[in-house]
Amino acid sequence: MSILKYNKSEVKKVYRKYQPLIAFCLLACVLLIIPNKTFSGNTYTIYFYNPETNINNFASLKTEFDQYLSNYGSFQFQPFSDRKSFEEFVVGRSDGVFLLSSWHFSQLKRKFQLDMQARLVGVLKGKATYKKILTAKNNIINIDSLKGKVVASSGNEDYTKKILMQMHGEENKDIVGSMKILTVPKDIDALMAVGYGMADSALTTERSLTKLAAINPKQYGFLMSLSKSEEILLPIIAAPAQSDEKIRLLIAIIEEMGTALDGKRKLKMLGVDGWKKVEELERVSLGK
Residue 239 CA: distances (Å) to CA of 74, 90, 229, 236, 266? 17, 11, 28, 10, 21
Backbone dihedral angles phi then psi of residue 260, each to the nearest 5 degrees: -110, 140
Is-contact 238 251, C-beta < 8 A?
no
Give the separation between CA 271 and CA 55, rounded to whole angstroms: 10
**Spacing of C-alpha 83 from chain mean position:** 7
DSSP state letters, 246-258: HHHHHHHHHHHGG
Per-residue pLDDT at 100: 96
Per-residue pLDDT at 92: 83
Per-residue pLDDT at 6: 33
- Choose among 200, 272, 270: nearest CA to 54: 270
Is-contact 22 55, C-beta < 8 A?
no
Q: What is the pLDDT along the chain (288 residues), one digit of tens a residue?
A: 333 333 434 434 433 544 444 443 433 333 333 333 333 358 999 999 999 998 889 999 999 999 999 999 999 999 999 999 999 988 888 999 999 999 999 989 888 888 889 999 999 999 999 999 999 988 898 899 999 999 999 999 999 999 999 999 999 999 999 999 999 999 999 999 999 999 999 999 999 999 999 999 999 999 999 999 999 999 999 999 888 999 999 999 999 999 999 999 999 999 999 999 999 989 888 875
Helix count (H) and strand count (E) of the chain?
Answer: 13, 13
Give the separation between CA 137 and CA 240, rounded to whole angstroms: 43
Per-residue pLDDT at 148: 95
Per-residue pLDDT at 41: 53
Residue 269 CA: distances (Å) to CA of 17, 60, 72, 120, 265? 56, 10, 20, 17, 7
Is-contact 257 267, C-beta < 8 A?
yes
Is-contact 135 204, C-beta < 8 A?
yes
Per-residue pLDDT at 288: 55
Residue 65 CA: distances (Å) to CA of 32, 71, 78, 145, 191? 28, 10, 9, 45, 28
Per-residue pLDDT at 30: 32
